[in-house]
Amino acid sequence: MSRFVLTMGWSDVPHLSEDQRREMLAALPPHQRDARSKGIPQLGSGAIYPVPESEIIVSDFEIPVHWPRAYGMDVGWNRTAAAFGALDRDSDILYIYSEHYRGQAEPSIHAQAIKARGEWIKGVIDPASRGRSQHDGSQLIETYKGLGLDLEFADNSVETGIYKVWERLSSGRLKIFNSCQSTVSEYRLYRRDENGKIVKKNDHIMDCIRYLVMSGIDRAKTKPVEQPKQSNHHYSGSSTGWMG
């Protein structure tokens, strides 16, 4: 018995207008466009976020105090990372303005570095942190909470998260400060292999950004207003004049 494969694309569907096809194509990640629009089976390979660096990297600037901030965190002995984001609500642009990127250090070291950016900033963490620490068997997330970090588990839906990050990047709603060099370096290397699988190497901050976009934005808050310190001087009630 002979077999053949018949491929059909959007151009074979008469009720789709050119405008509809353009809109549908724009809503798809680049590695899915041929498969969806032309009916060409493929898994996709190459850069996961094929958006030019010139469109996403910006010069550092002082973050306005009214912009809410949060961070995404990825833990591991070989590398622990955190990506700090600030959201301009008016334009819905998320700026990655700071990063923590260090390997082979105790949780206390990472916690100290993260709190140095602002102890009030809330974060979301890789759900794998509910696993046990090799050091004392405690859950990593509980260890970090005990060290003063305000953390919740992030949504780790990988493909959905990648799509949401790509959607922001491609629409100009996710920018990276030029000083975040580890983030930029990982962005350049973040890719799929010839089988369409994500290359799980040098992807720690990329995971952090995915956690931040998926779950961290909802936890973002502005810096609390510092209350003025009350004076320790008390009025004595004496009527002897201002000199006492």
Residue span of the structural domain in which 82 resides? 62-219
What percent of the chain shows pLDDT beyond 70? 77
Higher pLDDT residue, 97 or 31? 97
- pLDDT number for residue 144: 94
- Give the number of other CB atoms < 10 A from CB of residue 133: 16
Higher pLDDT residue, 187 or 36? 187
Residue 178 belongs to some domain of the structure:
yes
Mean pLDDT value across the chain: 84
Highest mean pLDDT range out of 124-133, 174-183, 231-240?
174-183
Residue 225 belongs to some domain of the structure:
no
Joined tokens for residue 165: 């990050």
71 within 8 A of 83, measured Cβ to Cβ: yes
- pLDDT number for residue 239: 37
- pLDDT number for residue 5: 45
Q: Is the pLDDT of residue 159 over 50?
A: yes
What percent of the chain shows pLDDT beyond 90? 59
- pLDDT number for residue 10: 63
Residue 161 belongs to some domain of the structure:
yes
Q: How many structural domains are present in the chain?
A: 1
What's the whole-number mean pLDDT along residues 151-180? 96
Cα separation, 128 vs 75, in Å, equals 8
- pLDDT number for residue 42: 44
What's the whole-number mean pLDDT along residues 203-208? 96
Q: Which residues contact 228 (CB under 8 A, 6 or more apart)?
A: none
Residue 7 belongs to some domain of the structure:
no
Residue 82 belongs to some domain of the structure:
yes
pTM, full prediction: 0.76
Residue 179's domain is classified under what CATH number?
3.30.420.280
Q: Is the pLDDT of residue 9 over 90?
A: no
pLDDT category of residue 165 using cuts at 50, 70 and 90: very high
- pLDDT number for residue 46: 85
Range from 9-18, 75-84, 111-120 carrying the lowest mean pLDDT: 9-18
Write the single-letter amino acid at 135.
H
- pLDDT number for residue 129: 83
**Residue 95, helix vs strand vs coil:** strand
Cα separation, 208 vs 183, in Å, equals 10
Cα separation, 93 vs 12, in Å, equals 38
- pLDDT number for residue 196: 85
Residue 38 belongs to some domain of the structure:
no
**Residue 78, helix vs strand vs coil:** coil
- pLDDT number for residue 103: 86
Taking only the tens place, the pLDDT of each residue in 116-138 is: 999 999 999 999 887 755 454 46
Q: Is the pLDDT of residue 147 over 90?
A: yes
Q: How far is CA 204 from the centre of its chain?
A: 10
Residue 77 belongs to some domain of the structure:
yes
Higher pLDDT residue, 212 or 243? 212
Residue 90 belongs to some domain of the structure:
yes
